[in-house]
Amino acid sequence: MHTNYYFLRRLAPALAPNLMGLKLMECFSQDRDELVLVFAQAKGKINFYRPFYIKATLRPDFSGLFFPETVQRARTNSVDLFEELYDREVTGARSFLNERCLGITLEGGFTVVFKFFGNRPNLLVFSEDEVTDVFNNKLVGDNNLRLSGLDRPLDQSREAFERSSFDHRRLFPTFGKEVNAWLDGRFTDAFGAEEPDGMRKWEIIQDTLRLLDEPRYYLTTFQHKPTLALIPVGEVRQEFTEPLEASNRFFSAFMGQNTLDREKGDALRLLEKRLKRTRAYIETNLQRLIDFDTEVRNEEIANILMANLHRIPERAESVELEDFYRNKPIRIKLKTDLSPQKNAEGYYRKAKNEKIETTILQEQLDARERELEQLSKQTEEIRAIESLRELRKYLKAHPVKDEKVAQSDSAPLFKQVTHEGFVILVGRNAKNNDLLTQQYAYKDDLWLHARDVAGSHVIIKYQAGKKFPKPVIERAAELAAWYSKRRTDTLCPVIVTPKKFVRKPKGLAEGQVVVEKEEVVMVVPRGE
């Protein structure tokens, strides 16, 4: 939470007294993702008078602010930045409503903004409302930001909470994972396995908001890494009452992690993510199997129809008949354009698919239960490792990633997954689907798409002399099902065909194609 809105809105008023009356004397970078701002009353030939330093780390994987007592500037590989702001006096420090930004205002209408939202952090210089300079020039979209647009008013009333179906994440996107984890724990304590009451949830949220307003800062271990939190979540190590001190101690703790702790924490987080996903899969599909046992089977419905063909009117939308399996009436839906016998045949076909689905579900459940056992074993074994050499040796022999995002020149264009050495590309939208299929796919590549619904085009790249393994095709089909309108289906039919059988005649809309030859596989939708 060190770059969270709730922390930054406390940091700004604590920072202001330290900066007011000082001038920006220097801003320099000795690392491409790090810069130092030096504020002071005056600058001598060698030293600054009453200096105050802000060291900003703006890496994509970690960003934060550190307020050291001294900073030694290197004689080489150091570059001056934002020189037009030098000797301008600080007039204040501010946060922005519901946004992860911190601003330092300077005389002349300038504001230096530490931007922590989005995929990449950055430092922006505003003159009045417009951006005039940025630290990371590659983030071209940051040049279009407006200072007046950084405040983000949100309706966080009880009425808005009711309209959101009692989903606090939609009203409070600023909470972050620590506060959401805290709330999930409070909801579980209050309701157990029962359906949470909306108004009681609202009371718990209000209690949490009051907690976020208290001047308490916790250095904790959350998800196996040092974390600065405003609530006592995780394993609390220290507690502070001053935000600058809390930020410094957190920064030191994070940067001071030894390599063993960091690599072990990364591995455990990946395993816990896989464990959570696997448990959710097992729970969902167990419920589906239970539903099969409790629902009226399609084969039973077909038998009831066949036993009562003479009692079914032509073109009826539904009919009520005696369920001789349960000795009670049952209402059966019919297709009006089919005869009673054809309707029964339709239910027999569904029954056949139902049996196939049940078999597949049971096989995949068995596989996931074995995976769950293996993941739990890996977690315990990694926790017990006490040397970096042993950890790396273990991870090489027992990788914690089941698949990885492939890296290539076209990585920004498409979602990419590597499975058993084969690269799988997934289109992002209709226009992107056309780009993937028409320009990045070759005739021997394998093309997949969820059948009869809108969804992503998926390509498995061909490897000379190799056949496409069945597990690779199934994995790509799972992705095609996941990135389609059938994502919530228990079982999804997916078209599989060589790309040479996929055409796009003139006049078709973006993303639409014609498939001349196809096979269909049935899979359970599963994302990355």
Question: In terms of C-beta distances under 8 Å and separation of at least 24 residues, what long-range contacts does 79-84 make, across chains too?
Answer: 79/28, 79/29, 80/26, 80/27, 80/28, 81/27, 81/28, 81/29, 81/35, 81/135, 82/24, 82/27, 82/112, 82/125, 82/133, 83/27, 84/133
Domain locations along the chain: 5-149, 158-260, 279-397, 415-523
Cα(389)–Cα(395) distance, integer angstroms? 10
Mean pLDDT, contiguous 10-residue spans, the chain (528 residues): 90 94 92 91 82 91 90 84 94 94 95 90 94 90 92 91 87 88 84 74 91 89 87 89 91 78 87 88 82 78 90 90 89 90 88 78 85 91 88 88 49 80 91 91 94 94 90 94 89 93 87 90 87
- Note the pLDDT of residue 81: 93
Q: How far, CA to CA in Å, does 419 sit from each of 11, 468, 499?
A: 45, 11, 19
Q: List Cβ neighbours of 141 (8 Å cut-off, separation of 6 or more).
A: none
Beta bridge partners of 35: 56
At 454, list the tokens. 């809108």
- Note the pLDDT of residue 356: 77
- Name the helix (H) or strand (E) containing 328: strand 328-333
Q: Are 246 and 240 in contact (CB under 8 A)?
A: yes
Cα(102)–Cα(111) distance, integer angstroms? 10
Cα(416)–Cα(412) distance, integer angstroms? 9
Strands (E) across 97-234 are located at 99-106, 110-115, 122-127, 130-134, 217-222, 225-229
Q: Is the dihedral of CA 156, 159, 163, 165 positive or negative?
A: positive
- Name the helix (H) or strand (E) containing 191: helix 176-191
Q: Are 58 and 33 in contact (CB under 8 A)?
A: yes
DSSP letter (8 states) at residue 444: T
- Note the pLDDT of residue 2: 87
Cα(102)–Cα(333) distance, integer angstroms? 61
pTM value > 0.85 = no
User: Whose structure tokens read 């074994």?
Assistant: 381
The answer regarding whether domain 5-149 maps to CATH 3.40.50.10310 reads: no
- Note the pLDDT of residue 403: 53
Q: List Cβ neighbours of 283 (8 Å cut-off, separation of 6 or more).
A: none
Q: Are 426 and 458 in contact (CB under 8 A)?
A: yes
User: Whose structure tokens read 């922005």?
Assistant: 96
DSSP letters of 231-268?
Answer: S--SEEEEEES-HHHHHHHHHHHHHT--HHHHHHHHHH
Report the SS3 class of residue 133: strand
Strands (E) across 259-412 are located at 318-323, 328-333
